[in-house]
Amino acid sequence: MTSVKTQQSRNDDGLAAVVPATAPQQLVKRRRKPLTWDKVSFFAVFLGLPLAIYLLFVIWPFLQAFQYSLTDWSGFSPNPNFIGLENYARIFTDDIFMKAMANNILLVIVLPVVTIILSLVLATLVTVGGSSKGQIKGLRNSSFYRVVSFFPYTIPAIAIGIMWGQIYDPSGGLLNGILTGLGFDQFKDFAWLGNKDTAMIATMFVIVWGFVGFYMVLFVAGIKGIPAELFEAARIDGAGRFRTAVSITIPLIRDNIQTAYIYMGILALDAFVYMAALNSGGGPDNSTLVMAQQLFFTAFSKGQFGLASAMGVVLAITTLIFSGLVFLVNRLTGGDKDVSN
Amino acid sequence: MTTRVETPERKSLHFQPRTPASTPGDKVVGAISHTALTIWSLIVILPLLWTFMSSFKTSSEIFASPFALPSVWRFDNYVKAWTEAGIGSYFLNSVIVVGSALVIVMVLGAMCAYVLARYTFPGSRAIYYLMLAGLTFPIFLAMVPLFFVLKNMGLLNTLPGLILVYVGFALPFTVFFLFSFFKSLPHEITEAAALDGAGEWRTFFQVMLPMAKPGLASVAIFNFLGLWNQFLIPVSINAAGPRVLSQGLAAFAGQMGYAVDFGALFAAVTVTVIPVLIVYVIFQRQLQGSVSQGTSK
């Protein structure tokens, strides 16, 4: 039985090609051996140790968060009162938290789209920007662009935030230096992060800056995985570069795009580090305040742990809804069956 | 796309002679591609170069002109950042915490993934989904209860506490990645090892683990970047403990409003950025490969 099961799950994982269909079942089959000390100690350590740490430091806190969110716990009283959904009612009538939620939703709408489009364009330029005659090949020196674009991903987010905070500095910053140097004198001493109309856009740009390279590398790898024959066939059929990108490349790396969209969306729903580094107080008129900041403040500055846990639950549910929506939209619009050129 | 940086010398780079086979259309497309990619590369590099350059300037020089080179290439800022601001000791703490957590999570993650991938037993599916849950939920949700879990264990604001939490949160990703990796290794090898008389322990450490090296390297790189960059966990559960680099950097920047020393801040950022950047440039080939592996599953 065991062998059949392994075989099936392997096929489920799309590894069918690796496992020869004719592999004799007899060989793979493992006999149920009596439990030896070797086996018992092996399972205890290999499974027990990692699971113990994981359950204690990850799963247990997650579960407790749901429980705390129904209490008025402040961290010190031994017996917090059970107050039902009161914390949630409070959150949804709290204007500041709702503003933070709206900001997160704005981020989750804008960031994945902008980042993915930009990195897709760059990845396409790198991979299929080369000659239209002869072999399908990428642009010359493309590895330079790839390596450089990836730089920001290796930099800690907090360092990115601090660095850009200085770049946006009204008087000594690089951005205003460049703009006034180019003759745009209205930007002299313009506070990008201090103006409620520009703070959010400036912040979004920083996050996009940090991630475009990573997704570009991801998409380049995806595009390189497409067999060259498909591009050649399209070219013979008379498809130009743009047509090839839209009808061949994008449908074929659709799974990568979906993964990127979810990762980027989860990041946008958090965004704590960037916001904390660029505008730790939530920005002018709370224009860059996000739920995570409000949660952190409620928990570790105000000590309202019950309320903060409820905010965490709201954040988690928003994340789950978002991931679900992305899967659903991808499924409804045809998933990966769409390669019909 | 708010900062479009224009450079006059850009054009000369791109109209190079190309292979004879290219058509005029190709040249235009090539030129446009190079232009777009160069603009993006400049957007990436200029801020980094500017930070590097500013790290040698005094605060008054920084405010005088954002572009001017420092009058003297002085290292005062680095000395100040490293000793007075404590970046040196934060750096060391980061190395200790990330190094230990990385070793532990790689060993435990490989063991767990191996058992889940190669053995079928009641509950193995459930454990797998439990790992998936850990990847899906935002870390934020766990922070408040985690604070008290550590407090009760006496591990709050300590480096060992931080290491254990890092291990816990890096575990699901490690297990997921290595799970598919161990699954793809041929079963015949385990059979051969068993026939030769190797027990479970020996099969794992002497046969399977060496075979999984490429997968382990990829996961280690991603775990390193993730843990080195981690900010939320240390500021939540290690706020009063020995600071790690990301935390120390934020604290240093937070004081800036009162004691303005921008040169030292730039130096601190440079110290944080440069080591990882150098390691990346050396290992970038392996990393490019692992990006595709890591996210395709």
Burial grade of A14 (CB within 10 A; 0-12, 13-18, 19 or more): exposed
pLDDT band at B17; cut points 50, 70, 90: very low
- CA-closest candidate to residue B236, choices A163, A263, A53, A273: A273
**DSSP 8-state assignment for residue A80:** P
Least confident range from A151-165, A190-204, A277-291, B273-287: namely B273-287
| Rg of chain A in Å (alpha carbons) | 26
Give contacts of A159 with chain B, Cβ < 8 Å.
Answer: 246, 249, 269, 272-273
In chain A, pLDDT over 70 holds for what percent of residues?
A: 83
A263 occurs within a structural domain: yes
For residue A184, the model assigns a pLDDT of 84
Residue type, B163: I
Nearest to B269 among A27, A65, A163 (CB): A163
**Hey, how many other C-beta atoms are within 10 angstroms of the C-beta on A324?**
10
CA distance A178 to B153: 53
pLDDT band at B234; cut points 50, 70, 90: very high
Nearest to B62 among A156, A157, A172 (CB): A172
For residue A338, the model assigns a pLDDT of 45
Domain of residue A170 covers 96-332
A339 occurs within a structural domain: no
Segment A37-52 mean pLDDT: 88
Nearest CA in chain B to A305: B144
A60 occurs within a structural domain: no
Binary contact (B184, A147; C-beta < 8 A)? no
Q: What is the pLDDT of residues B79-122, one digit of tens each?
A: 888 888 889 999 999 999 999 999 999 999 999 999 998 888 88
Segment B2-11 mean pLDDT: 45
Looking at per-residue confidence, does B191 or A111 come out higher?
A111
Q: What is the pLDDT of residues B167-218, one digit of tens each?
A: 999 999 999 889 888 888 888 888 888 888 888 888 888 888 888 888 888 8
CA distance A180 to A182: 5
Identify the sign of the CA torsion B147, B153, B154, B160: negative
Segment A287-308 mean pLDDT: 92
Segment A12-21 mean pLDDT: 40
To probe the interface with B, which of A8, A12, A47, A193 has the most B CB atoms within 10 Å?
A47
Q: Is the pLDDT of residue A26 over 60?
A: no
Average pLDDT, chain B: 83
CA distance B70 to B24: 45
Segment B14-34 mean pLDDT: 67
Q: Is the pLDDT of residue A224 over 50?
A: yes
A109 occurs within a structural domain: yes
Report yes or no: B223 and B170 within 8 Å, Cβ to Cβ.
yes
For residue B292, the model assigns a pLDDT of 53
Report yes or no: A315 and A332 within 8 Å, Cβ to Cβ.
no
Segment B55-67 mean pLDDT: 82
Nearest CA in chain B to A266: B138
Cα–Cα distances in Å, from A236 out to A90, A218, A233, B30, B270?
A: 63, 28, 5, 21, 51
CB-facing half-sphere around the CA of A196: CA atoms within 13 A? 8
Buried b / exposed e across A228-267, counting CB within 10 Å, b at 16+?
A: eebbeebbeeebebeebbebbbbbbbbebbbbbbbbbbbb
Report yes or no: B44 and B5 within 8 Å, Cβ to Cβ.
no
Segment A328-340 mean pLDDT: 67
For residue A12, the model assigns a pLDDT of 39
In chain A, pLDDT over 90 holds for what percent of residues?
A: 40
Domains in chain B, please, with CATH? 76-295 (1.10.3720.10)
CA distance B39 to B14: 12
Q: Is the pLDDT of residue A67 over 70?
A: yes
Q: What is the pLDDT of residues B112-166, one digit of tens each?
A: 999 998 888 888 889 988 888 888 888 888 988 999 999 999 999 999 999 999 9
Q: Is the pLDDT of residue A222 over 50?
A: yes
User: Which ipTM did the prediction report?
Assistant: 0.83
A270 occurs within a structural domain: yes
pLDDT band at B260; cut points 50, 70, 90: low
Give the minimum alpha-carbon distance from B132 to chain A in angstroms, rounded to a whole number.
11
Looking at per-residue confidence, does A153 or B63 come out higher?
A153
Least confident range from A48-62, A120-134, A270-284, B154-168: namely A120-134
Q: What are the two backbone dihedrals, phi and then psi, of residue A114, each rounded to the nearest 5 degrees?
A: -65, -45
In chain B, pLDDT over 70 holds for what percent of residues?
A: 87
Burial grade of B227 (CB within 10 A; 0-12, 13-18, 19 or more): buried
pTM (2 d.p.):
0.83
**DSSP 8-state assignment for residue B212:** T
Report yes or no: A203 and A267 within 8 Å, Cβ to Cβ.
no
Give contacts of B221 with chain A, Cβ < 8 Å.
Answer: none
Nearest to B168 among A57, A201, A309 (CB): A57
A233 occurs within a structural domain: yes
Nearest to A172 among B66, B144, B236 (CB): B66
Binary contact (A154, B130; C-beta < 8 A)? no
Segment B224-252 mean pLDDT: 91
| DSSP class per residue in A143-179 | HHHHHHHHGGGGS-HHHHHHHHHHHT-TTT-HHHHHH
A281 occurs within a structural domain: yes
CA distance A251 to A242: 13
A29 occurs within a structural domain: no
User: Kindly report the CA angle at B209 between B207 and B212, in degrees rounded to 5?
Assistant: 110
For residue B287, the model assigns a pLDDT of 67
Question: Distance between alpha carbon B59 and the CA centroid of its chain, in Å?
Answer: 30
CATH code at position A257 = 1.10.3720.10
Nearest CA in chain A to B229: A156
In chain A, the number of structural domains is 1
* CB proximity list for B46: less than 8 A, separation 6 or greater: A174, B5
Q: Does A126 touch chain B (CB under 8 A)?
A: yes
Segment A277-289 mean pLDDT: 89
- Which two three-digit tokens encode residue B186? 């041929």
Binary contact (A312, B127; C-beta < 8 A)? no
For residue B132, the model assigns a pLDDT of 82
Segment A222-239 mean pLDDT: 84
